[in-house]
Amino acid sequence: MRVLAIGDIHGCLTHLDDLLAWVRPEPDDVLITLGDYVDRGPDTRGVLNRLIELKKTRPLICLRGNHEIMMLDAWRGGRSEQKMWLGVGGVQALGSYGSAPGKSGALSDVPPEHWTFLQTELVDYHESDLFIFVHAGLTYSDKMDEQPHNALFWEFLGDQMMHYSGKTVICGHTSQKGGVPKVVPGAVCIDTYAHGGGWLTCLDAISGRYWQVDALGRKREGRVDYEE
């Protein structure tokens, strides 16, 4: 059994499909996506469709990212929430909901099943015997069900990210523009900037092995050494 975590997808459906085809998750593998499925990349709609399909065929743990929060805020809120979201990738997300190539969509074009997925199928974190999976980060001294909202979804990775439990944290959110997972004491970040010309990463948390694909279809793999 592997424990497979996939970093920030950001509308990069081709990356996701290529990565899944290469890694080939088995039925007994634990598969976790770390949030930020929407915005910035070209195919938010396709990514959400793929995740919804996957959840129907196999166990899949989908974390909530700050971009899902902003997209929902834009849908529920007013002009200021919409303006903020559009400025951080919402324009590209709506572009994927257009009725024809080159034509942008609107929030009203997002299908109900996507709103249902974003509202009801995402979790704030996932904790196992050895690991804690979060989108952004956590505080050292708080239990997971008492973690601050800002830590889970908004804070960027610093020089360390340790939890009193001693479990290793697997996170995204802090873009590694060099395309390589970042290891700090207590944690590893696997947001490797897929939407910006980098790589989409899948990490086997147990072995430390990772697989990566980019927009050109290139593949590479490596291994992380966790820092205590």
Which of the residue ranges 56-65, 98-107, 203-212 would you say has the lowest mean pLDDT?
98-107
What pLDDT does 24 receive?
98
Q: Which residue has the higher pLDDT, 178 or 100?
A: 178
Q: Quote the CA–CA distance of 175 and 53 in Å, as a whole number.
A: 27
pLDDT tens digits, 195-216: 999 999 999 999 999 999 999 9
Q: Quote the CA–CA distance of 221 and 210 in Å, as a whole number.
A: 6
Q: What is the mean pLDDT of residues 92-105?
A: 90
pLDDT at residue 59 above 80?
A: yes
Q: What is the mean pLDDT of residues 110-127?
A: 98
Structural contact between residues 12 and 47, judged by C-beta atoms closer than 8 angstroms? yes
What pLDDT does 100 receive?
76
What pLDDT does 99 receive?
84
Q: What share of the chain is helix, strand, coil (3-state, %, to 5)?
A: 35, 20, 45
Tokens of 109: 């074009």
pLDDT at residue 101 above 90?
A: no
At the second CATH level, the architecture of 3-223 is 4-Layer Sandwich (3.60)
What pLDDT does 23 receive?
98
- Side-chain-side CA neighbours of residue 209 (13 Å): 7
What pLDDT does 228 receive?
62
pLDDT tens digits, 123-168: 999 999 999 999 999 999 999 999 999 999 999 999 999 999 999 9
